[in-house]
Amino acid sequence: MRPVTLFTGQWADMPLETLAAKASGWGYDGLELACWGDHFDVRRALTEKRYVKDRWMLLKDHGLHCFAISNHLTGQAVCDRIDARHKAIVPEHVWGDGDAEGVRRRAALEMIDTAKAARRFFDAAPAPVKKHLARTGRTVVNGFTGSSIWSRIYSFPPNLPGEIDAGFADFGARWRSILNAFQRERVHFALEVHPAEIAFDIASARRALAAVKNHRHFGFNFDPSHFGYQGVDYLRFLREFGGRIFHTHVKDVWWSSVPTEAGTFGGHTEFGAPERNWDFRTPGRGRIDFDAIMRTLNQIGYAGPLSVEWEDPHMDREHGAAEASWFVKKTDFPAAGSMFDSAFAKKAKRVTSS
């Protein structure tokens, strides 16, 4: 069975020691460590001799593993049009003086350092984790890429000729050098396909792959919640990009079957507001077909973790995280070793041969 982990990004207000104890009690096999809060510090991993060993000891003390780390927030700044909002999400040394191009360049260097930190961290992993990574064939850093053209998603005023192509070219130019560094470290980058990123559906994911020239170390962190309310076929995404599915987030979403006051774009309302057209939900409580997802993951040979990214504006988060662990373990199942009626064929063969 695939390990079930909890992504710590939404829990960065909680010390890792505290969260690890809770996650163990909720039944998780491990944590997907976010590179913010005190959960995983890229600089400390590279400069302090005992840092990665101490992270593993903390996890071991609570019976937990880790199969991927994530640096969404810094990755966002690599391609974005930088403004004051980014100061709140990137490390101080990445923000620096706030000069937009300087922030983008420092963010790129921080992502390269994240690959180096991941290599050091997973080289120090316990044997069961190394065995799992060997089975999947990769070490993974999840994250965002940012996008210089997200604000052009609705073409009015009409986008200028070549403007969208230029945005993908900018992404490719900035990320190919980062991906080359990932390759040197034997680490793979998994973009979470998501609104505000260079790839947010199947069509844009194809263009993103082309922009990085199908780099072997670029793939996707599959999260069906970002497809469902858009009307994107998330099972087709798995089938088309099967070999590029490096990691999977388990998050649910509900969307309305009737018209609402605030539509797909959200109407500048907050998550959880009445009359929204969609909202994230605890796994199993939205409209995502997780049974079909597990079957398709089996078909494409995905053996990586199933990582709960818990978001639900109407539910207590600790209740939700505990419920999600139970749901994912109940819903996942191993792939069939043979067809269900193969025994009949074997019996018929024996009868014929006799």
272-278: average pLDDT: 97
Tens of pLDDT, residues 122-173: 999 999 999 999 999 999 999 999 999 999 999 999 999 999 999 999 999 9
223-262: per-residue pLDDT in tens? 999 999 999 999 999 999 999 999 999 999 999 999 999 9
Mean pLDDT of 74-93: 98
> Cβ distance 70 to 35 under 8 Å?
yes
Q: How many residues does the chain have?
A: 354
* Res 337: pLDDT: 78
How far apart (Å, rounded) are the C-alpha atoms in residues 192 and 207?
A: 15
Residue 349 clears pLDDT 70, i.e. is over it: no
Domains of the chain, with CATH numbers? 4-353 (3.20.20.150)
Mean pLDDT of 325-330: 98
Overall average pLDDT of the 295-307 stretch: 98
H or E element that contains 78: helix 72-79
Above 70 in pLDDT, residue 341?
no
User: Is the distance from CB of 190 to CB of 141 less than 8 angstroms?
Assistant: yes
DSSP states of 103-169: HHHHHHHHHHHHHHHHHHHHHT--HHHHHHHHHHT--EEEE----SSGGGSS-SSPPPTTHHHHHHH
Residue 211, pLDDT above cutoff 80: yes
Chain-wide mean pLDDT for the chain?
A: 96
SS3 65: strand
Q: What is the residue type of 256? A: S
Of 265, 241, 23, 74, whose CA–CA distance to 153 is shortest? Answer: 265
Question: What are the backbone dihedrals phi and psi of residue 252, each rounded to the nearest 5 degrees, phi first?
Answer: -105, 165
Whether pLDDT at 351 is above 60: no
Q: Name residue 166's beta-bridge partners.
A: none
Pick left, alpha or beta for residue 122 (phi over 0 → left; psi -120 to 50 → alpha; otherwise beta). Answer: alpha
Any idea which residue has 């994240």 for tokens? 114
SS3 content of the chain, % helix, strand, coil (to 5): 50, 15, 40
Q: Which residue has better confidence, 54 or 337?
A: 54
Q: Report which of 243, 109, 130, 120 is spatially closest to residue 181, judged by C-alpha positions.
A: 109
Helix or strand holding residue 329 (H, E): helix 317-331
SS (H, E, C) 212-280: CCCCCCEEEEECCHHHHCCCCCHHHHHHHCHHHEEEEEECEEEECCCCCCECCCCCCCCCCCCCECEEE
In the prediction, which pLDDT does 81 show?
98
